[in-house]
Amino acid sequence: MSAPLLCAGRVVVVTGAGRGLGRAHALAFAAEGARVVVNDLGVGLDGTPDPDSPAGRVAEEIRAAGGEAVAHGGDIATTEGAASLVRTALETYGRLDTLVNNAGFLRDRMLVNLDEDDWDAVMRVNLKGHFLPLRHAAAHWRAEAKAGRVPRARVVNTSSGAGLLGSVGQGNYSAAKAGIVGLTLVAAAELGRYGVQVNAIAPTARTRMTERAFAQTMAAPDAAGSFDAMAPENVSPLVVWLGSAAGPGVTGRVFETEGGRITVMEGWRPGPTADRGGRWTPAEAGDAALKLLAEAAAPGGVYGAEG
């Protein structure tokens, strides 16, 4: 007897699902029995329009395999686009169980060359594009809970190693992805009473966004068919599990995932402390800081930093 499908009966929304990680997530959810709303605006890496919008193709791919899916091409970094996304799930399938926030893009510059438009564009798609779908989905789930229909809802946000450690040439992207971690922690704390669990992943995989940055290290499998550690499909099993009704109580967590490795990331925690019970002079504060730093663990290296 085969094992029951992990997401049978659930309705899952995946943003940025036309390619790369989002496409892999959408297909993996469908394979576990979910009905999927495939969102993708269909733009290039820099956010400019792409005439070949992929959301419909992924939805058709799911249907061709015997699953259920509908495409959504709205801009989820706008209030109407995010509201429409939630509406599409409810009007098409009558419910919403899981939101996977995956949409994002890059405009890489060193800080001295990073202009305001590049900053605003990356913040808009990566951070605002997480907030607005989350806000509209959360409003629906809160209403359900208040009506006595407490959901087993799940949100999976997409951060990055750049958001956890920083990445040279990606000040805007690093800040946005760090913001997603903060948003995840707040949402987990606020929405738990409504039956919503919220977690984040920091994935490493070969996608349009990473292929240039990691071209030397992200090799495809060799002719013998060895494990392709950088395939986006490696990330999706954890996302599907986090988006299922399994794992009650798993919320407010960040998982790094690469190849066959899953790591629970541990964020800021109090380290060495000194308290004199009164005000320090600047010199005394400096002496105390140096002594504490000598006792503290060294920080992780920023991606791309020399040395």
Q: Give 199's strand partners.
A: 156
From the list 84, 167, 174, 177, the catalytic residue is 177
Banded pLDDT at 144 (limits 50, 70, 90): very high
Q: What is the pTM of this model?
A: 0.90
- pLDDT, one tens digit per residue, over 86-106 is 999 999 999 999 999 999 988
Banded pLDDT at 217 (limits 50, 70, 90): very low
The pLDDT of residue 253 is 97
The pLDDT of residue 307 is 61
- Looking at every residue in the chain, the average pLDDT score rounds to 91
From the list 160, 167, 174, 244, the catalytic residue is 160
Domain spans in the chain, listed from the N-terminal domain onward: 11-265
Among 17-31, 41-55, 233-247, the range scoring the smallest mean pLDDT is 41-55
The pLDDT of residue 258 is 92
Torsion sign, CA atoms 241, 247, 248, 250: negative
Percent with pLDDT over 90 in the chain: 80
**Is 218's pLDDT higher than 60?**
no
Instruction: Print burial letters for 21-50: b (CB count within 10 Å at least 16), e (below 16).
Output: bbbbbbbbbbbbbbbbbbbbbebebebeee
**Residue 275 identity (one-letter amino acid):** D
Give the whole-angstrom CA distance, residue 270 versus residue 39.
40
**Is 292's pLDDT higher than 50?**
yes
Banded pLDDT at 209 (limits 50, 70, 90): low
**Is 211's pLDDT higher than 80?**
no
Known catalytic residue: 93?
A: no
Pairing of strands 11-14, 254-258: unpaired
CATH (residue range 11-265): 3.40.50.720
Known catalytic residue: 160?
A: yes
- 58 C-beta neighbours (distance < 10 Å), count: 25
DSSP state of 193: G
From the list 84, 93, 173, 244, the catalytic residue is 173
Known catalytic residue: 146?
A: no
Cα distances (angstroms) measured from residue 242 to each of 47, 81, 254: 28, 25, 11
